[in-house]
Structure 1
Amino acid sequence: MTSPLVSIICLCFNHAAFLREALDSVLAQTYPNLDILVVDDLSTDHSVEIIEEYVQRYPQIRFIRHTQNQGNCASFNEALQVSQGDFIIDFATDDVLHPERVARQVEAFQQLPASYGVVYTDAELIDEQGASLSFFYTRSAGGNLSPLPAQGEVFAEVLGRYFICPPTMMIRRQVLEELQGYDPALAYEDFDFWVRSARNWQYYFLDQSLCQRRMHAASLSRRVYQKGDKQLASTIKVIQKAQKLVRTPHEKEALRKRIRYEARHAYLTANYPEATQLLRLLEEEQGMTALYRLLQVLTQKQIPLQFIRRWYHRWKYGRTAA
């Protein structure tokens, strides 16, 4: 069987502390047929110097250097336009790839029907120093995973809950071309990509840990639900897109579940304008209950109950919520 070309789009913004380990993990792939692109989105640390050093040593690396900060979505799209791979990996250069990552996911794709657009896996979560924290999925003694991964038709699942670790995905190029890449108007890409791609493409979960996801203070994921975070506004836009895509009662209920979840978190982080918008969307979807009518009143009056979220996080995770 031939080895299809795989493009690894490496996105860098102030990742100097992690960049060498990230690029070394790309270059250490056992898979032979790689197209490597690195985009620096106007880093203010020493990232560019490190990338240029790697480009000199490894001329197969193509380097796109920005003179204006464009954000992750636009940066990825720019690299996608000049990439050539049949499959694409969106790789943040604070993460680390397992040497077998590409080979195993390509092998999985080759055994799946052409209707499958995404293969995703488990991931090890690491701290800034590279020490292991946990894995994305919690495994019971009996081998059951939490959150439970979904496969095949996953549109309702991606609407209703989080179960995919974003950096683990390998994406069929045709999926991204059909979607015209990521939406550059958004502050982040994952939820929007899942919703739009899962409408027409199937997903496959490969039960292996093939990358390390670094958890640190500058991560986008760490800023979600902080007061004033721009990602909430993007989430609202994705929900509005999803409203036009739902087809079945099951999918509509999954959408309501998502809106309720986001409205709760928006309110409990004092993002009152976004909470107001989300509760209006819940009304549109005929998903209001007595609890959410109460939440609507609390939002209108901007009654601060953030301590509830902080207490919950201390109880569940042993730490204070951001």
Structure 2
Amino acid sequence: MPHSSFLTPHSSTPAPLVTVVALCHNHAPFLRQALDSILTQTYPHLEVWLVDDASTDGSREVLREYAAAQPHWHTLFLTENVGNCRAFNAAFRQSRGEFVIDFATDDVLLPQRIAQQVAAFQLAPATVGMVYSNCELIDEAGRSLGLHHRLDGAGQLAPRPASGWVFGEVLRRYFISTPTMLMRRACLEQLDGYDETLTYEDFDFWVRASRDWQFLYLDEVTTQKRKHPRQMSARAYRRLDPFLASTIRVCDKALDLCQTPAEREALAVRLRWEMKKALQNRHMAQARQLDGLLKLTGHRRLVDKLLGGLARLPIG
């Protein structure tokens, strides 16, 4: 759906409160830059929650320093490492903002980020549950690695962002830059927050939210996403990492949510890709699970059957 289709101005209303849930787990080298980026936001109506998920690197002392200087900020210091989903929910359920940002404190919010996205929401229909945008990728030292959405040879953004009813698209491919998301509280509340049984949150949120809510792409660079070897996505598909098990559970949920053959075919594309990655990394049991889900979509091809057979070979 074209971006312009969302531009149906609403009547003027008081500026909405935006909750920033700043999640920290051993982000000490990046933490001050992240927190400073909240302070430099041009949008003034913010509720900030500083959540420390049992850091061991001195992050908590930095968080206390900022909280002391900003007494209206809230703190939540967890005594054990519970993971992103539980840590986020613990703050979200105490927060009040009409819109919510899940902000990892190794990333950076650009100054206009919240103002731009709130403005997009205010021009959008009430069926829009999430606004996302472009981001700049940076390394550990803050050096630019380029943009998430870049122009391809045809002058089009790649990965191609999608707006509107995007359930099939989020099943089929990866195109959303997670750190750029601004979520509508009503959408998150309908989902009862993040699924705390999962290792990571974004794919599950996209699948469950996009069934009943529209997503809107804002063609602006709003965020700097830091790439470093300690982040969760860098550990995906390693042996014994629970990332893949969470992906399988989300795909199982997605199968139950599919309503049309086209949606099941879109899920088959995802399952096929995940099964190949599992096989490449010798996760044979998980590859068999993915093959089982692929059968249930009704879109299992001959090559998929061959891969499924490979997953059943006695390979260590």
Shorter-chain TM-score range: over 0.9
Secondary structure in 2 aligned to 1:199? helix
CA distance, structure 2, for counterparts of residue 291 and residue 142 of structure 1: 31
TM-score (norm 1): 0.92
Greater alpha carbon shift after TM alignment, 292-301 vs 12-21: 292-301
Q: Tell me which amino acid in the other structure corresponds to 2:182.
A: M
Question: Aligned with 2:179: secondary structure?
Answer: helix
1:174-199 per-position Cα deviation (integer Å, ceiling 9, x unaligned) = 00000000000000000000000000
Distance 2:92 2:252 in 1: 26
* C-alpha deviation, 1:173, in angstroms: 0.3
**In the alignment, structure 1 residue 225 sits paired with structure 2 residue 243:** no
Pick the aligned partner of 2:50 from 11, 18, 38: 38
Q: Distance in 2 between matches of 1:8 and 1:302?
A: 48
Query: Is 2:167 the counterpart of 1:155?
Result: yes
Q: Is the 8 A contact 2:24 2:51 kept in 1?
A: yes
Structure 1: unaligned runs, 5 residues or longer? 305-322
Aligned 8 A contact 2:244 2:286 in 1: yes
Distance 1:287 1:40, change over 3 A: same
Partner SS state of residue 240, structure 1: helix
Superposed CA RMSD: 1.1
Deviates more, 1:254-263 or 1:219-228: 219-228
* 1:158-173 alignment runs, 5 A limit: 158-173=170-185
Give the counterpart of 1:183 among 195, 203, 222: 195
CA distance in 1, matches of 2:69, 2:199: 34
Percentage of pairs with the same residue: 49
The alignment partner of 1:82 has SS state of coil
Q: Which residue of 2 aligns with 1:108?
A: 120
Q: Could you give the per-residue CA deviations for residues 146-166 of structure 1, whole angstroms, max 9, x where no partner exists?
A: 111111000000011000000
Q: One-letter code of the match for 1:175?
A: C
Q: Normalising by structure 2, what TM-score? A: 0.94
Contact kept, 8 Å, 1:187 with 1:234, in 2: the verdict is yes
Q: What amino acid is the match of 1:292?
A: D
1:14-37: CA deviations, max 9, x gaps?
A: 000000000000111000100000
Once residues 290 and 209 of structure 2 are traced to their aligned partners in structure 1, the CA distance between those partners, rounded to angstroms, is 23
- Which segments of 5 or more consecutive residues in structure 2 lack a partner in the other structure? 1-11
The residue that corresponds to 2:282 in the other structure is: 270
Once residues 37 and 82 of structure 1 are traced to their aligned partners in structure 2, the CA distance between those partners, rounded to angstroms, is 9
**Equivalence map 1:89-168=2 (5 Å):** 89-140=101-152, 143-168=155-180
Match of 2:36 in 1: 24
